[in-house]
């Protein structure tokens, strides 16, 4: 058999040998890429997704900590009016203050994500083998991250009973982030929604059902209760 292969190799011209080597390299490359796609990428994706989600939450937390520094923020965002009997007659949102806060939170979070993307995430080299036994072993390889589009920011309003004739009004922010993970043979996009409390206040008086049944900030505020 060996003699036959040697004979065939001897018979092939230089051009035919080059073509044969090219086809061999292509075949090996296809096998390697298929191995990466089938065994390696799922492991890296799983590890990377967990790290990206953790870092995204941290980015949002840092952004909110940097932006929301006013202890009287609730009074800046919301105005509560009562009648002479102590009944709530109006809960009014300061649209300008809310829009400004929205822009600042999105900008700060976007910057945090870009800083995170510049640093990337580090995955142990053993994870690239696709073998569970080697996962987390070896020197670390940096995986590049890219923020995708703009951060989405929405506000949510919650009313909770806080005792007799008292209601706890909370304003929360939902930050949606998207980050792309650049893998050897694919790109994976990871979306994360982080909810954080930004301010709250105890409202003394009867809060109408109009407010209690509303969830979004637009529904809960700027409404005059039915008489």
- Pinpoint the alpha helices (H) of 36-94: 41-67, 73-77
Whether 88 and 207 have beta carbons less than 8 Å apart is answered as yes
Q: Which of 58-62, 64-68, 179-183, 195-199 has the least mean pLDDT?
A: 179-183
Q: In angstroms, rounded to a whole number, what is the distance separating the alpha carbons of residues 191 and 177?
A: 6
pLDDT in tens, 5-40: 455 555 556 777 777 788 888 888 777 777 776 767
Whether 159 and 220 have beta carbons less than 8 Å apart is answered as yes
Domain ranges of the chain: 12-220
Q: Report angle CA 81, 87, 91 to the nearest 5 degrees.
A: 35
Q: Model-level pTM?
A: 0.70
User: Token digits for 147?
Assistant: 């923020």
- Highest mean pLDDT range out of 24-28, 36-40, 159-163, 196-200? 196-200
Helix (H, G, I), strand (E, B) or coil at 168: strand
Q: Report angle CA 198, 189, 150 to the nearest 5 degrees.
A: 45
pLDDT, residue 184, reads 62
HSE on the CB side for 83, CA within 13 Å? 9
pLDDT in tens, 107-134: 999 999 888 877 878 878 777 666 666 6
* Ramachandran quadrant class, 138 (left: phi over 0; alpha: psi -120 to 50; beta: rest): left
pLDDT, residue 217, reads 57
DSSP 8-state code for residue 221: S
pLDDT in tens, 61-102: 999 999 988 888 988 888 888 777 767 777 778 888 888 999
Element (H, E) at 25: helix 14-35
């Amino acid at each position: 058999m060996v003699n036959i292969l040697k004979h065939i190799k001897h018979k092939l011209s230089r051009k035919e040998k080059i073509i044969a080597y090219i086809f061999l390299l292509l075949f090996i490359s296809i096998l390697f890429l298929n191995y990466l796609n089938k065994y390696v990428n799922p492991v890296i994706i799983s590890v990377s997704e967990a790290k990206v989600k953790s870092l995204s939450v941290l980015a949002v937390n840092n952004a909110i900590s940097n932006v929301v520094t006013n202890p009287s923020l609730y009074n800046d965002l919301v105005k509560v009016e009562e009648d002479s009997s102590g009944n709530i007659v109006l809960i009014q949102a300061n649209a300008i203050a809310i829009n400004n806060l929205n822009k600042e939170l999105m900008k700060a979070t976007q910057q945090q994500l870009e800083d995170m993307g510049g640093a990337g995430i580090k995955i142990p080299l053993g994870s690239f083998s696709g073998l569970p036994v080697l996962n987390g072993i070896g020197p670390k390889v940096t995986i590049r991250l890219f923020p995708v589009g703009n951060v989405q920011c929405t506000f949510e309003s919650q009313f909770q009973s806080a005792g007799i004739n008292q209601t706890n009004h909370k304003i929360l922010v939902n930050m949606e982030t998207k980050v792309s993970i650049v893998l050897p043979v694919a790109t994976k996009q990871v979306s994360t929604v982080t909810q954080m409390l930004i301010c709250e206040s105890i409202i003394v008086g009867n809060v109408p059902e109009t407010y209690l049944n509303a969830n979004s900030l637009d529904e809960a505020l700027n409404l005059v209760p039915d008489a």
